[in-house]
Amino acid sequence: MSSSGAGTEGNRNSDYGKRRFKRSRSHFTDRITQDGKDGWPVEPGRYRLVVSRACPWASRALVSRRLLGLEDVLSLAVADPVQDDRSWRFTLDPAGEDPVLGIRYLFEAYDARERDYPGGVSVPAVVDVPSGKLVTNDYQRITLDLATEWRDLHRPGAPDLCPEALREEIDAVMEGIYRDLNNGVYRAGFATGQQEYEEAYTDVFRRLDSVTEHLRDRRYLVGDAITEADIRLFTTLVRFDAVYHGHFKCNRYKITENEVLWAYLRDLYQTPGFGDTVDFDHTKRHYYTVHTGINPTRIVPSGPDLSGLTTPHHRERLGGRPFGDGTPPGPPPAAERT
């Protein structure tokens, strides 16, 4: 999610709904790997993950980091959910400065890597602490590498989020969910014309209907345990009723009105590592305050009532083991609790 809006190209906050939506590709695609082939070897304490709790793409990284137990080796910076046209800012921290990187805006790490970089400043981002340079903003790749390249630093009992035997199926499921749902809600919300909106709206609910049937008799998307595919679906579903249903006009039904998806969402939300990374205040304030092109009053709705997320879901009747052969993560560090 870029400072100019969810990875869109060149938009200011006031441009939403006025320019055709286009998600920009990640410009900085270096990888942090065991062999350090891109110049960035996996090292404990060397890198800092920058996120916004409002952003579904960054939330993937938050969930993965928690499930894998990487809190002590990959530090976390949380940006203010209400950014300005300059980029994500660290106004939640004392003196408005990230205490580790010593910067006030995320674009400073981008500038340290590439002066006058013309694209959007997006989260999630991984920054090299010693140099202060951005390493990567490749939101599609970051979590996959956390699950595989960082394996030697995982906590004991960490789940395998990308089992090799299921990798092809996981990739196929994630591709459809990304195209029609993760990205589809943005295409609907930022549409500049009726046909553009209706095409995106159709994609969103066609995919939700398909996922509903897929999950009707199985607990998780692929296999019998949580995988990367579930993480990517969760971060959109958990924002759907609070933001996408109203703000983005994806209003054929709410997730609470879909028996299967509502139970699936509650199941994941109540699983350690998922709901404890969610901040609905950050989420709603970001979308409704920042997207002034489609919400010029900047009024943040009081609803919906989300207390039902903690009610029994009964999905355990379908079998499956949330963490496979692993174990649940411990509680989040006190400083990171939402």
Catalytically annotated residues:
55, 186
Six-digit token string for 130: 């010693």
The alpha helices in 107-251, defined as continuous H runs, are 107-113, 139-148, 167-177, 184-189, 194-215, 228-239
Contact 125, 50 (CB under 8 A): yes
Helix (H, G, I), strand (E, B) or coil at 269: helix
Tokens of 323: 């963490």
The burial class, CB within 10 Å (0-12 / 13-18 / 19+), for 117 is middle
CB 267 within 8 A of CB 254: no
What's the token pair of residue 206?
């066609």
Taking alpha carbons only, the member of 55, 231, 225 closest to residue 146 is: 231
Q: How many CB atoms lie within 10 A of CB 168?
A: 10
Helix (H, G, I), strand (E, B) or coil at 105: strand
Token pair in block for residue 170:
């996981």
The DSSP 8-state label assigned to residue 122 in this structure reads B
SS3 label, residue 156 = coil
